[in-house]
Amino acid sequence: MGDLLLSMRGIDKAFAGVPALVAADLAVARGEVHALIGQNGAGKSTLIKILTGAYRRDGGEILFDGKPVSFASPRSAQEAGISTIYQEINLVPLRSVTENVCLGYEPRRAGLIDWRAAHRRTREILARFGVDIDVTRRLGEYNTAIQQMVAIARAVSLEAKLVVMDEPTSSLDDREVEILFNVIRELKSSGVAIIYVSHYLDELFQVCDRVTVMRDGRTIETQDIAQARKLNLIAAMLGRRVEDIEAAGMTDFSAGEARVGETMLEVEHLATGPKLRDVSLILHRGEIVGLAGLLGSGRTEVARAVFGIDSAVAGSVRVTGRAAQVDDPREAVRAGLGFLTEDRKADGIVPELSVRENLTLALLPRLTRAGRIREGEERKIVERFIQALGIKTSGMEQPVRELSGGNQQKVLLARWLATEPRLLILDEPTRGVDVGAKREIQNIIRELADKGLAVLMISSEFEELVEGADRVVVLREGVSVAEFRNPGITEDALVSAIAQHREAAAA
């Protein structure tokens, strides 16, 4: 390792007493492209936010450019030479491309902004990325890929010593990814260091020099990328022994036999963009099919496409034997689909509304007559599901925000069950709930399937898939690569398929 630019040692951080980082370390040399990887909740984002001044650390030390630092804000970190490109594009869509690239650093003449110079500078920076657009137009008029390139261009324009890239290729196509990699190589040659956060492991071997693996808020290992094996990295991320994964092999692989029951969902070669490129699966009535894969593998994108949130650019989706014309969630609900989203706080509950209002939200069109809600029928439905799912609440008018995480999750599950779906999509149904509530929810899901409901379940916990799914489809970088059928699925076999340690080909 060359001259050290950044050293983070023994970093601790807790939220409400719950540790998010425990003695975490990260060291980056000048002109180095350093990968930072780990599963959801590993601590990567928290570590980056502490570095860039968004969070205050509880313990440890940070040295940047040879000096101890403790940035009070992202702006102070930026002024010191650290520029960050977030996965969620944090630009101003109603402002022009030039204004976004030069915001806060506009060239001036006689005290006024020199717009001619600003436009010229923006065009020159974007040209390095192969982007030729009208920089005077509002950023929001361009697609997400262009916006991502503009965000990267802004970071590069600040002449940073260290650039943090959080999932920079998530919205880019293959050509744009290659352009980005060329820019990264150019930055590296000019002495700029890069922290590269990505779930796409193949990318690391193309542009990175070293890689640090995090798990459960701790730094697990750091090694040269030239000596790294993909299987070892995945094993470190998941806390598995490489020997166990290698021993698992693919002996439990099965193409999956059709169950007794109507075919509810057929997905063939589905693609929606860079994150979802070629996925196929079948789901029958009374069956639970799990989707396994690392974060960023395309699991949630499959769910969003089936439910009509995202549009397919290739492939097909058939529901109950017919080509689905599901272009938005409203049509999906009418077709008998339900979708419990991954983030219940952001996309699920409405915290200021009551348990009753949250539970019947998707059912309102059926409960409304002449513009008025049939309150008697609504209350009967709510009472039935509170009892059936064992929702612990002081009453149906209690604000849902006051419930525990597990009971909030049950309210959301009840919301979709009240619509009497034929097919239910569950994205991380037990995330963020305690052990008792987790087991209750798992039992409810199995009971629903036994009564004939088709369930597509996404989970980052392989144990949950092994115990609860009839079949598991494994995704890797937007492609379905293997399928397993119970009895006989093992966690190590799933990890082996994700790592593509052995070829998983259907018989």
**The pLDDT value given to residue 253:** 36
Surface-to-core class of residue 102, CB atoms within 10 Å of its CB (0-12 exposed, 13-18 middle, 19+ buried): buried
Chain segment 272-308, per-residue pLDDT in tens: 888 889 999 999 999 999 999 887 788 989 999 999 8
Q: Do domains 4-245 and 263-499 have the same CATH topology?
A: yes
Domain 263-499 has CATH 3.60.21.10: no
**The pLDDT value given to residue 445:** 87
Q: Which residues contact 347 (CB under 8 A, 6 or more apart)?
A: 341
**The pLDDT value given to residue 366:** 83
Dist CA 169 CA 198 (whole Å): 8
- Residue 335: Cβ within 10 Å count: 18
Does the pLDDT value for residue 505 go beyond 50?
no
**The pLDDT value given to residue 372:** 87
- Residue 72: Cβ within 10 Å count: 9
Query: Pseudo-torsion of CA 436, 438, 441, 447, nearest 10°?
Result: -80
Chain segment 54-86, per-residue pLDDT in tens: 999 999 999 999 999 999 998 899 889 998 887
E strand intervals along 110-257: 112-113, 162-166, 193-197, 210-215, 218-224
**The pLDDT value given to residue 98:** 93
Taking the domain 4-245, which CATH number applies? Answer: 3.40.50.300
Does the pLDDT value for residue 411 go beyond 70?
yes
Chain segment 357-381, per-residue pLDDT in tens: 999 988 888 888 878 888 899 999 9
User: Taking the CA of residue 261 as centre, how many other CA atoms within 13 Å lie in the half-sphere pointing to its CB?
Assistant: 21
Binned at pLDDT 50, 70 and 90, residue 501 comes out as very low
pTM of whole model > 0.75? Answer: no
The first and second tokens of residue 17, run together, are 């007493």
Binned at pLDDT 50, 70 and 90, residue 506 comes out as very low
Chain segment 149-183, per-residue pLDDT in tens: 888 888 777 778 999 998 888 767 677 788 888 88
Among 166-180, 193-207, 364-378, 478-492, the least confident range? 166-180
**The pLDDT value given to residue 71:** 93
What are the extents of the domains in the chain?
Answer: 4-245, 263-499
